[in-house]
DNA sequence: CTGTTAGCGCTTTCAC
DNA sequence: GTGAAAGCGCTAACAG
C-alpha cells in the first residue's frame, strides 16, 4: 500500500505538505491539486495505526452492553451503531453478560489501544480503569463523578404505569421487577410507581427479585419459577378479597412471563388483571407490542449518548441527560380508559402523547 | 503510561530484552524475572497501536451483519462476540442495513487499520476492497473464490419443512420467502422444499417476494401487504378446492406475519392450515417459539465462523462449512405426526433429532 | 506557505 | 542470550 512518502514523491512535494492537505492545513492551490491527484492515482489511504500512534486517538468507541438477547438492548445497539457511524466512529462491541472481568478486559484494551471513548450500560466500576483523557458516557446508571449519564425519565415511567392501570380500572396494584447489584436509574421506576400509589391512596405491593434468585436478570424466563411463586402468593391472598387487578412489571420480558403465568393460573388478561410492562418492545421489532408498556425511545437514548460522547471528545463540559421522554402504549393487556374525557396527560392514544409534566 | 523503555530502564536491561519476554523470546532466567517484576511494578501494558504499526496486525475483527432487529442476527451476533472474545479478538460492529456503501466504508477502514479479519453475512462484493492478506469468512453466502462460507444445510432445512408439513397431514403446500439481490445459500431452502414435494408427488406453489416490493427483507412487517395479497390469491383459489393446508415461510419473521394474516382471514392455525417458519426463534430469546420452525444453531455457526477465521489467520487452507445441522422444532403451528411409529428421521421430538441423511 | 526532522512505542534484524 | 539501532507511517514543531 502506498504511504504518505510515496504520495509526496509522486507529487514532488514534502511529506509535511501531504500531511497538511490530508488534515486541512494551509497549502498552496497548485500543490494541493498535485497532491490530491497523486493520492487518487496511487489510491492512497491514511494508515490509521500510524496516525493513532502519533495523535493518541483513533476513531474507535467501545460499546458495553450486558446482553443483546433482550430486544431492548439489541434495538439500543442498532441505534447506537447508527449514531456512531454518523459521527465517524467505529464501535467495538463488548457484551459483558454482567461479567466484570470481561468489561475490565475491554477497558484495559481501550486504554492501551487509545480508543476514543466508551459508552456503556451499567458497567462495573469504570473509574479505576479509564484514563482521565478518555470520554465515558453511562447509560441508565448514574455515577457520582464526572461521568455523564443518559437515561429516560424512569420516575415518570413508573408514575405513568401506575396512573394508567388506575385510570383503566385497576384498584389494587402489584409491582414486580428484578434488580441487579449495581445501583441503576432503573430502580426509579419503582419509586415513581409507589409515589403515585401513595399520593392517590391506591393500595399496592412491591416485589423486587434479586439477581441472586435468577440466572440472568436480562432473561425473565430464567425467573419463571420465582415469578410463579410471587404471583401465587399475591393473587391467592383471598383473606379479604383484595387481590391485585393491575400489575406493573419493570420490564417487558418480565411482563411476558407474568402474562403467561397469570393465564396459566386461570386469570384473564386484561379482563381480570391488567398488565403493563416497560420498554415498549415489539414482536420481531416491528410487529405489535408484546404487552401494554411504558415505551422508551432507544433512538433518543442513542442520540443523546453519542452526542454527549462527541462533546466530551471536543473538550466540552457535559451534563447528564436523565429526562428523556417515555409514554404509555396500549398493547392488549390493558382495558380502555375509564375517564377519556378527563385525560390531562394525553396518554390515551399512545403515539401522540406528550411528555407528562411532573407535578 | 509506562512504555517499554521505562520497563527496560527500570529492570536494567535493553528494550529488546523486554520485548522478548513480552513475546516469548529466549531470555535468561534472571533477567526475565527482573523484567516481569518491573512490568508489574510500573503497571506496564503493551501499546496496541505501536505494536500494530510494527507487526501489521491488530486483534480486531470486523463483523458485518445486515440488521439486528431480527432476533436471528442478534443471537448470531451474541454468539460471534462470545467466540471472538474466546479467541482474544475484539469485534468492530458494522450493521450494514443492506447498504453497500456502509460496508465498503468498513472494508476500507479494515484495510487501513490493519484489522485482522472480517466475518460477514451476505455483504457486497468484498473482493476488490480486501487485501489478499486479510482473513475473510462469509456467512450464508457462498463466494466463488477463496472465501470460505459457513452455513447450515439449507437444502436439508427446506426438505425438513416440507416433510414435516406432509407427515403432519398437510396435502397441499405453499412456500413463501423474500429474496434479496445477492445470491445466498438461503435460497436453497426453496430448492430442498421443492425437491421433497416433487419426489413425493406433493402439489405445491412457491412464491418469492423480491426485495423491491418491501422496504426491508429483514422485517416482514414491511411486507405485510404483499403477504396479505399472496395469501389471498392462494388461499381463496376455490376453483377445485385445492387450497394450501401447509405453509412454509422462509424465515420466522415472515411466518409470524403469515400466521396473523391467516387468522385474520378466518383460518385456524394449525387446524386448518399448518405453518412452519425458519430459524427457530424464541420469544425474548428464551421463551417459547414464535411458530413451528426449522431451527438453526447460531452458536454452531459462530463457532465454525470464528474457527475458520482463526485458521485463516494461521495461514491454513480453509474450506467452506455448509452442512451445519438443522432440525424441526414444534412451536404450536403444526399438528402431531400422523406416523410417529414410522419416523425414520427422529424429528418428532424436536430436540433430540439427528441430522437427517440426505437420500 | 513549504521542507526537514524528531519522535509516537514497538518489533526485529544484526552483531557481539 | 543480549544490546544497539533501524524503521513501521504519520503528525507536529520548527526553520526558512
DSSP state of A172: S
More confident residue, B63 or A346: B63
Residues A121 and A65: beta-carbon distance below 8 Å: yes
Per-residue pLDDT reduced to its tens digit, B209-252: 987 787 776 777 778 889 999 999 998 866 566 899 999 999 99
Residue range A130-135: average pLDDT?
85
Per-residue pLDDT reduced to its tens digit, B105-161: 999 999 999 999 999 997 777 777 888 889 999 999 999 878 999 999 999 999 999
Q: Which of A89, A98, A142 is nearest to A118 (CA)?
A: A89
**Residue A27: which nucleotide is closest by CA–C1'?**
C1
Confidence check: pLDDT of B347 > 60: no
The per-residue pLDDT for B341 is 59
Q: What percent of chain B has pLDDT over 70?
A: 93
The per-residue pLDDT for B356 is 32
Q: What percent of chain B has pLDDT over 90?
A: 79
Residues A180 and A217: beta-carbon distance below 8 Å: yes
**Residue B4: which nucleotide is closest by CA–C1'?**
C9
Please name the helix (run of DSSP H) or strand (run of DSSP E) that holds residue A91, with its range, or none: strand A90-95
Q: Tell me which of A12-16, A347-351, B114-118, B197-201 is least confident.
A: A347-351
Nearest residue of A to residue B82, measured between CA atoms: A95
Give Cα B262 to chain centroid, integer Å.
29
Closest residue (Cα, C1') to D7? B54
CA A250/CA A248 separation, integer angstroms? 6
Residue range B300-315: average pLDDT?
97
**Residue B51: which nucleotide is closest by CA–C1'?**
C10
Residue range A182-186: average pLDDT?
90
Q: Tell me which of A222-231, B68-77, B302-311 is least confident.
A: A222-231
Per-residue pLDDT reduced to its tens digit, B185-196: 999 999 999 999
The per-residue pLDDT for B242 is 80
The per-residue pLDDT for B239 is 58
Binding residues for strand C (Cβ < 7 Å)? A 12-17, 20, 25-28, 30-32, 50, 53-54; B 1, 3-5, 15-16, 18-20, 22-23, 44, 46-47, 50-51, 53-55
In this prediction the pTM is 0.93
Q: Which residue reads 513475546 in cell numbers?
A: B23
Q: Which chain B residues are Cβ-neighbours of A93 within 8 angstroms?
A: 63, 77, 81, 91-93
Q: Tell me which of A328-332, B44-48, B349-353 is least confident.
A: B349-353
Q: Which residue reads 489501544 in cell numbers?
A: A113
Please name the helix (run of DSSP H) or strand (run of DSSP E) that holds residue A207, with its range, or none: strand A204-210
Domains in chain B: ranges and CATH:
4-46 (1.10.260.40), 59-152 (3.40.50.2300), 154-297+326-349 (3.40.50.2300)
pLDDT interval class at B181 (50, 70, 90): confident
Which member of A47, A68, A290 has the closest CB to residue B74? A68
Nearest residue of B to residue A111, measured between CA atoms: B47
Nearest residue of A to residue B284, measured between CA atoms: A70
Averaged pLDDT score across all residues of chain A: 91
Residue range B313-334: average pLDDT?
96
Q: Tell me which of A20-34, A82-96, B207-221 is least confident.
A: B207-221
Q: Which of A236, A165, A175, A225 is nearest to A205 (CA)?
A: A175
Q: Which chain A residues are Cβ-neighbours of B256 within 8 angstroms?
A: 283-284, 287
Confidence check: pLDDT of A310 > 90: yes
The per-residue pLDDT for B240 is 61
Give, rounded to a whole angstrom, the gap between the first and last alpha carbons of chain A: 63
pLDDT interval class at B318 (50, 70, 90): very high
Which member of B78, B81, B95 has the closest CB to residue A81? B95
The per-residue pLDDT for A76 is 98
Nearest residue of A to residue B56, measured between CA atoms: A49
Which nucleotides of strand C lie under 7 Å from a protein CB? 1-5, 7-13
CA/C1' separation A16–D10 (Å): 10
Q: Which residue reads 457520582 in cell numbers?
A: A144
Per-residue pLDDT reduced to its tens digit, A214-245: 777 777 777 889 999 999 999 886 656 689 99
Residue range A295-316: average pLDDT?
97
CA A130/CA B54 separation, integer angstroms? 25
Q: Look at B93 and A68 and tell me if their CB atoms are within 8 Å.
A: no
The per-residue pLDDT for A236 is 81
Residues A274 and A291: beta-carbon distance below 8 Å: no
Amino acid at each position: 500500500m502506498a504511504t504518505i512518502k510515496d504520495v509526496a514523491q509522486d507529487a514532488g512535494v514534502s511529506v509535511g505538505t501531504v500531511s497538511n492537505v490530508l488534515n486541512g492545513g494551509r497549502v498552496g492551490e497548485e500543490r494541493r491539486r498535485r497532491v490530491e491527484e497523486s493520492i487518487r492515482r496511487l489510491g492512497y489511504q491514511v494508515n490509521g495505526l500510524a496516525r493513532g500512534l502519533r495523535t493518541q486517538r483513533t476513531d474507535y468507541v467501545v460499546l458495553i452492553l450486558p446482553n443483546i438477547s433482550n430486544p431492548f438492548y439489541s434495538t439500543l445497539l442498532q441505534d447506537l451503531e447508527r449514531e456512531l457511524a454518523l459521527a465517524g466512529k467505529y464501535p467495538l462491541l463488548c457484551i459483558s453478560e454482567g461479567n466484570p472481568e470481561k468489561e475490565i478486559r475491554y477497558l484495559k484494551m481501550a486504554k492501551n489501544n487509545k480508543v476514543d471513548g466508551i459508552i456503556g450500560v451499567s458497567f462495573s466500576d469504570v473509574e479505576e480503569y479509564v484514563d482521565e483523557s478518555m470520554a465515558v458516557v453511562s447509560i441508565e446508571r448514574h455515577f457520582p463523578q464526572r461521568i455523564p449519564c443518559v437515561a429516560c425519565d424512569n420516575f415518570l415511567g413508573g408514575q405513568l404505569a401506575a396512573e394508567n392501570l388506575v385510570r383503566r380500572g385497576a384498584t389494587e396494584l402489584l409491582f414486580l421487577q428484578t434488580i441487579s447489584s449495581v445501583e441503576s436509574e432503573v430502580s426509579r421506576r419503582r419509586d415513581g410507581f409507589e409515589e403515585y400509589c401513595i399520593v392517590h391512596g391506591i393500595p399496592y405491593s412491591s416485589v423486587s427479585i434479586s439477581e441472586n434468585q435468577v440466572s440472568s436478570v436480562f432473561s425473565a424466563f430464567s425467573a419463571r419459577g420465582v415469578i410463579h411463586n410471587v404471583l401465587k402468593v399475591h393473587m391467592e391472598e383471598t383473606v379479604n378479597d383484595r387481590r391485585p387487578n393491575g400489575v406493573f412489571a419493570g420490564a417487558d420480558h418480565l411482563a411476558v412471563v407474568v402474562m403467561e403465568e397469570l393465564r396459566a393460573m386461570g386469570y384473564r388478561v386484561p379482563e381480570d388483571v391488567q398488565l403493563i410492562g416497560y420498554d415498549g418492545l415489539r414482536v420481531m421489532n416491528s410487529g405489535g407490542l408484546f404487552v401494554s408498556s411504558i415505551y422508551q425511545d432507544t433512538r433518543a437514548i442513542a442520540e443523546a449518548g453519542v452526542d454527549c460522547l462527541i462533546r466530551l471528545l471536543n473538550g466540552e463540559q457535559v451534563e447528564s441527560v436523565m429526562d428523556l421522554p417515555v409514554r404509555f402504549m396500549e398493547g392488549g393487556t390493558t382495558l380502555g380508559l375509564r375517564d377519556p374525557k378527563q385525560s390531562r396527560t394525553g396518554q390515551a392514544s399512545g403515539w401522540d402523547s406528550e411528555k407528562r409534566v411532573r407535578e
